[in-house]
Structure 1
Amino acid sequence: MRRTFSVPERIGGFGLAVAAAALAWPALNGHTGATLPCPLRALTGIPCPACGLTTAAVVLVRGDVGAALAANPAIMALAAAAVAVVPLVSLRALGVLPPPRPWAAGRRRRLGALVGALSVVSWLFQLHRLGVG
């Protein structure tokens, strides 16, 4: 039987993948000089809501919370989800917590609206931070 993962588990799993990439990125960047430019900013000069997330993730895994917040505060929500998902998935795997149930359409819509609103706030932050507008 294939186990399904809940939306919070998927977001947290993505956060864990981001943390792993943030740990590896400085070494890769140092050896190759590779960068990850924002496609929107490269094409238009306008930052996207996710601008600064790579920088925020790298400095956060090094323990510099202030620099992470300055680069993109959204990293804190992703980090919190990543930290919360480990015990959640572990407890579900051990049978302590029941498996996830599918979300109702209204709940998915509300989450989508929240993510959309947070994206707008993040975008406004990036526009202000980078002096665009």
Structure 2
Amino acid sequence: DAGLTEGENEVQFLFVYDKEGARIVNCQPSDFKNELNNVAFKSSYGEFFFATVCTEDVVTREDLFLDLLALVTDSPDVKRVIAVPFNEDYGERVIEALKAVEGKEITQLMMVEPKSPLPYKWDMLAFPVMQALGIKADELE
């Protein structure tokens, strides 16, 4: 939940994808371009905005993610960042970029524990995904 409390919050979701990964498997809505781009909803926790950016075969997903991460972390309006990169491909570069960020509350979601201590918060991605899918820890073998 990233410490989000009820109120007039503004939460921006920014999805980076390439043509091979234009949809989220097993989710509705799932199409980044046609269903998740430039949409929003409001709840008691604030307003949630969704935007998607495709590499369009001009740049790698890694470079686009890192460029957008730099823009987000440099913005004085941004207070809190939750990064969910493709850690297996470029997670180390994201870690180095996030280590340099000052004055923001940072959380990086990962599938494995980092190799060394981080100067910001990290959390296991598997647990929130399991919760969203309704899988309980005692159901795992």
Q: What range is the shorter-chain TM-score in? A: under 0.3
Higher helix proportion: 1
Larger radius of gyration: 1
Structure 1 length normalisation: TM-score? 0.27
**TM-score (norm. length: structure 2):** 0.26
Q: Compare relative contact order (CA 8 Å, sep 6+) and give the higher one, 1 or 2.
A: 1
| Structure with greater proportional strand content | 2
